[in-house]
Amino acid sequence: MKNIGEEISDSKMGAWDLTYDCKATIFEDVVEYYDKLVEEQERTGYDRDDPYCANITSFGGIKLLEGFAKNRQEALEEVLDKGEKWGPAVTKFYYPEGFEAYSNKSEIKKRVNKITKLHAKLKNEHDKIAQYVKSAYDKIQSKETTKFMSCISCKSKISKGYIRKCIGTTSYGDGFTTYYNKCIVCNNDFIKPKEEKYNKLREEYGNVSHVYAVVFGGMVAS
């Protein structure tokens, strides 16, 4: 998904407003993009357990605000109004510029349905991988005699207490769960799930022309 930009606005005592823009058709598009940004930020040395980073890792997840805004400014104002320090990033969909001119309700419905069906296939493969990652994590944690787990990529032995920094899942409600699978030593895959079909569908979905525009974010602690 294309990133339109990151915007930092008014600074408050111990916090400031932080928002992002992207194109999307359904909320899951935004969640996936949010999770991608978190992962990229963590690669620079930030930890998702540190709430004072004053970047995207400071948000406590992400949630959707109901309805559509008429334009970006209206969406931005609602995001900044509803966002809370220590809270999740809030998401507001809006109609992009020129939306009425090139679309009608029937055309929009067809586009949304087509994209939604493709995403359902993608999500099905994604969920299989997420379950594999979760099962691998649960298995290592359930074995009292196991103290370490080796990275499939660099062979580093990671202490059981730090495995959660390498693999795990995050649930956002409505049945949507993301997973992470990165060794804290080499930044490559920690375990090796079967991702061939998922990656093919993800490439196809990456070429989708999304219907709507989105602002998400809120207040982050600093």
Structure tokens given for 143: 């074995």
pLDDT in tens, 196-218: 999 999 999 999 999 999 999 99
Does residue 155 share a domain with residue 74? no
Does residue 169 share a domain with residue 88? no
Does residue 35 share a domain with residue 83? yes
Print the domain residue range for 75.
3-102+210-221
Q: What confidence tier does 20 reach under pLDDT thresholds 50, 70, 90?
A: very high
Does residue 199 share a domain with residue 187? yes
Does residue 19 share a domain with residue 97? yes
Structure tokens given for 24: 């999307």
Does residue 98 share a domain with residue 132? no
Does residue 50 share a domain with residue 64? yes
Q: What confidence tier does 122 reach under pLDDT thresholds 50, 70, 90?
A: very high
- Mean local confidence (pLDDT), 47-58: 69
Does residue 200 share a domain with residue 114? yes
Does residue 192 share a domain with residue 120? yes
The torsion of the CA quartet 5, 11, 13, 19, rounded to 10 degrees, works out to -20
Does residue 67 share a domain with residue 16? yes
The tally of domains found in the chain comes to 2
Q: What confidence tier does 127 reach under pLDDT thresholds 50, 70, 90?
A: very high
Q: How far apart are CA 170 and CA 180, in angstroms?
A: 8
Residue 8 has pLDDT above 60, yes or no: no
Does residue 129 share a domain with residue 82? no
137 by DSSP, 3-state: which?
helix
Q: How far apart are CA 57 and CA 34, in angstroms?
A: 10
Residue 147 has pLDDT above 80, yes or no: yes
Question: 68 vs 51, which has greater pLDDT?
Answer: 68
pLDDT in tens, 67-118: 999 999 999 999 999 988 888 999 999 999 878 755 677 888 888 999 999 9
Does residue 133 share a domain with residue 198? yes
Q: Given this model, what pLDDT does residue 1 score?
A: 43
